[in-house]
Amino acid sequence: MERKAGMRQSLSQRTQQQMLMLPRMLQSLDVLQLSTQELTNYIQETFEQNEALAMEDSRAARTYEAPRSSNREATRRHDEFLASQPAPERSLGELVEEQLALAGLESELEAWVRFLVSCLNEKGYLALEDERLLELAEEAGLCPEDGLLGRAIAALQALEPRGIGGRDAVESMLLQLDPGDEDYSLCCSLLEDFLGDIAGNKLPSVAKALHLELPRLEELLGFLRTLNPRPVADLVEETVPTLHPEVIVELDQGSFVVRVDQSGLPSLSIDSDVRALYKDPRTEREIKEYLRTKMDAARGVIQALGQRKETLQRVATAVFIHQRGFLENGPGHLVPLRMNEVADELGIHLSTVSRAVAGVYTQDPWGIHPLRYFFQSAAGATEGSEAAGAREDVREIVRQVVKGEDPARPFSDDELVEQMAARGFKLARRTLAKYRSELGIPSSYRRRSFS
Calpha distance 29→23 (Å, rounded): 10
Q: Is 153 contained in some domain?
A: yes
Question: Count of H helices and E strands in the chain?
Answer: 22, 7
Give 133's contacts (C-beta < 8 A, 6+ positions apart).
116, 119, 126, 149
pLDDT given at position 389: 53
| Residue 333: DSSP 8-state | -
What pairing do the DSSP bridges indicate for beta strands 361-364 and 62-63? Answer: unpaired
Residue 411 lies in a domain: yes
DSSP string covering 289-300: HHHHHHHHHHHH
Q: What per-residue confidence (pLDDT) applies to 313? A: 94
User: Does residue 11 lie in a domain region?
Assistant: no
Check which CATH number belongs to the domain holding 430 and give it: 1.10.10.60
Sign of the Cα pseudo-torsion (395, 400, 401, 405, in order)? positive
pLDDT in tens, the chain (451 residues): 555 555 455 444 444 444 444 556 667 777 787 877 788 888 888 888 888 888 886 554 444 444 444 445 555 555 555 555 554 455 677 788 888 888 788 888 888 998 998 898 888 899 889 888 888 888 888 887 768 888 999 999 988 889 999 999 999 999 999 988 999 999 999 999 998 888 888 889 999 999 999 999 999 999 999 998 988 876 654 444 567 789 999 988 888 999 998 887 888 899 888 889 989 989 899 988 998 999 999 899 899 899 999 999 999 999 999 999 889 988 778 888 889 999 999 999 988 898 888 888 999 888 888 898 888 765 544 333 333 456 777 888 888 899 999 888 899 888 998 988 888 788 888 888 888 888 888 888 788 877 6
Q: Are residues 101 and 207 in the same domain?
A: yes
Please check whether residues 161 and 270 belong to one and the same domain: no
Predicted pLDDT of residue 376: 74
Beta bridge partners of 409: 406
| Residue 252 dihedral angles phi and psi, to the nearest 5° | -135, 105
What is the rounded CA–CA span in Å between residue 382 and residue 436? 20
Q: How many angstroms separate the CA atoms of 257 and 285, rounded? A: 50
Looking at the structure, do residues 101 and 223 belong to the same domain, yes or no? yes
- 119 and 209: one domain? yes
Please identify, among 374, 399, 426, the residue that sits at the C-terminal boundary of a domain: 374
* Within-domain flag for 336: yes
Q: Are residues 100 and 168 in the same domain?
A: yes
- Triad 309, 314, 320: Cα angle to 5°: 120
Helix, coil or strand: residue 394:
helix
294 contacts: CB under 8 Å, gap ≥ 6? 50, 51, 52, 274
CA-nearest of 244, 265, 245 to 31 is 265
CB atoms within 10 A of CB 283: 15
CA atoms of 132 and 167, how far apart (whole Å): 13
Tell me how far apart the alpha carbons of residues 53 and 323 are, in angstroms, rounded to a whole number: 39
**pTM as predicted:** 0.51
Number of domains in the chain: 4
Asked if residue 384 is part of any domain, the answer here is no
146 and 104, same structural domain? yes
- Is the domain of 196 the same as that of 124? yes
Domain of residue 400 covers 391-447
Evaluated on CA atoms 405, 392, 30, 260, the torsion sign reads: negative
Q: Answer whether 393's CB lies under 8 Å from 376's CB.
A: yes
Separation between Cα atoms, residue 344 and residue 350, nearest integer Å? 8
Same domain for 439 and 307: no
